[in-house]
Amino acid sequence: MEQNLKRSIILDNYQNPIGKGLIVDDTYKKANMKNESCIDDINMMVKVEKGIIKDIRFNAEACAISISSTSIMIKLLTNKTVEKAKEIIKNFENMINERPYDKDILGEAIVYDEIYKQPNRIKCALLSWECIKKTID
């Protein structure tokens, strides 16, 4: 994907993220994730019904990469089965960590396919993906 297009997808998801804002609802599973660098901090809530991810919401104090990656993940995983979601997450992690991956199931998330070139941002891209695993594992 061309760099300018990647940038505009990331920026759009950062400035208008999907799923922003938590609600009070006990049927959701909740999780928190912090970046070890002591900055990024994300709260997530996930509703699973009959093995399908129905809704994902979050709030976060985090950088552009973290927030945009959360938004893209939410679009990608909503209405997927938990099994499929886990497959997508695994592929995303493989991509970030420079291992073989299936790009056809990652949709917009391939905008981070070169993030390994900035090692100090890898954790930012992975943060929400690590976080959601806590709720569906």
Residue ranges that bind another protein, judged by CB under 8 A: 6-7, 10-11, 14, 37-40, 61-65, 118, 120-121, 124
Cβ at position 17, least distance to another protein in Å: 13
Please say which residue, 7 or 103, places its beta carbon nearer to another protein. Answer: 7
Q: What is the dihedral of CA 34, 106, 90, 114, to 10 degrees?
A: -70
Separation between Cα atoms, residue 46 and residue 100, nearest integer Å: 28
Place of tokens 């804002």: 21
Place of tokens 């019904």: 49
Please say which residue, 31 or 111, places its beta carbon nearer to another protein. Answer: 111
Collapsed DSSP state (helix, strand, coil) of residue 80: coil
Cβ at position 16, least distance to another protein in Å: 14
List phi, psi (to 5°) of 3.
-60, -40
Cβ at position 4, least distance to another protein in Å: 9
- What is each CA distance from 42 to 2, 50, 70, 83, 89, in whole angstroms? 29, 26, 9, 23, 17
Cβ at position 135, least distance to another protein in Å: 24
